Amino acid sequence: MPNNPVCVGPWRCGRDEPLLFMAGPCVIESEQLVLDVAQRLADLSAARNVQIVFKSSFDKANRTSVDSFRGPGLERGLEILAKVREVTGLPLLTDVHDPRQAEPAAAVCQILQVPAFLARQTDLVEAVAAATARHGGVVNVKKPQFVAPEDMIHVVRKCEAFGNPNVLLTERGTTFGYGRLINDFRCIPVMQGFGGPVIFDATHSVQLPGGATTGGRRELVPFLARAAVACGCDGIFFETHPNPDVALSDGPNMVPLAELPRLIHQLVRLRTLALEFRNEVV
């Protein structure tokens, strides 16, 4: 049985715990941008007493076009992320696409994320689970767009078999026809039924796949995020940027950084109500 709650640095995620927020730019565009965003998130965490994990990718290996920006790479990217942790004190999340990236990434980041398209790759899951276990970290697995929530039990069992019961599962939409994602909010209680916490990815859920670059409708993020919290998710994943329209990856679905405090405030209030309803005795 996976652990619940799961500890992420000073934070706790899971049953009856405050929401865990994972937030940051899609990809590391520059050291300065990442540090600026991370500092604003750290200030928000302290001012509002909310749990925030800083997220950014050192390499976006799943970009649509060969011409798309991928990031600074493993070595330089981890140097920047380590500096974020040193300066802000925030726990870190990054994704890995190759088993060889797991050990060095786990030495820097408290959460390693298995991307949705790779969640059935046993060698990658094994490497991530084993590396995070050695470093006292956590695995976050995105539910693939083509996998039923009931089938995510298998990746949870893999993580446990390879040494790490600290597993988060993330709902990020299901493919419906071509170029559309839909969210079935039954995924949240179904995957919570495996024992561990469940996160809702509010920004990738509004993507519009297809074409040379992936589109998105960021104005829909608040609606889906509020619905997910009302349904009992344990955390929210946001990609955010000071100016999404000029971002080098996933701009159309990222939340403008200036809008994040208001949305987080709303979600914290909804979490309080959701827990009251869940624990209410009639």
What pTM does this model have?
0.95
Pick the CATH number of 6-279 from 3.30.43.10, 3.40.190.10, 3.20.20.70, 3.40.50.1700: 3.20.20.70
User: Among residues of the chain, what percentage have pLDDT more than 90?
Assistant: 87
Q: Outline where 107-259 has alpha helix (H).
A: 122-134, 153-161, 187-192, 221-230
Asked whether the CA dihedral 223, 224, 225, 229 is positive or negative, the reply is positive
**Element (DSSP H or E) covering residue 181:** strand 181-182
pLDDT score, position 68: 72
Burial (Cβ within 10 Å: 0-12, 13-18, ≥19) of residue 20? buried
Q: Among residues 98, 155, 153, 157, which one has the least CA distance to residue 131?
A: 98
Packed helices 122-134 and 153-161: angle between N→C axes, nearest 10 degrees: 50
Name the band, by pLDDT with cuts 50, 70 and 90, for residue 212: low
Q: What is the mean pLDDT of residues 17-40?
A: 97
- 190-206 pLDDT, tens digit each: 999 999 999 999 999 99
pLDDT score, position 63: 59
- 100-123 pLDDT, tens digit each: 999 999 999 999 999 999 999 999
Going from the C-alpha of 235 to that of each of 13, 18, 152, 231, the distances in angstroms are: 7, 8, 18, 11
Those residues whose C-beta lies under 8 Å from the C-beta of residue 17, and which sit 6 or more positions away, are: 5, 234
Q: Which residue has the tokens 């799961």?
A: 6
pLDDT score, position 280: 76
Residues facing residue 138 across a β-bridge: 111
Q: How far apart are CA 124 and CA 275, in angstroms?
A: 35
Contact 174, 182 (CB under 8 A): yes
Q: Among residues 196, 215, 212, which one has the least CA distance to residue 204?
A: 215
Q: Mean pLDDT in the chain?
A: 94
- 134-173 pLDDT, tens digit each: 999 999 999 999 999 999 999 999 999 999 999 999 999 9
- 33-89 pLDDT, tens digit each: 999 999 999 999 999 999 999 999 999 877 566 667 888 999 999 999 999 999 999
Q: What is the DSSP string of 78-125?
A: HHHHHHHHHHH---EEEE-SSGGGHHHHHTT-SEEEE-GGGTT-HHHH
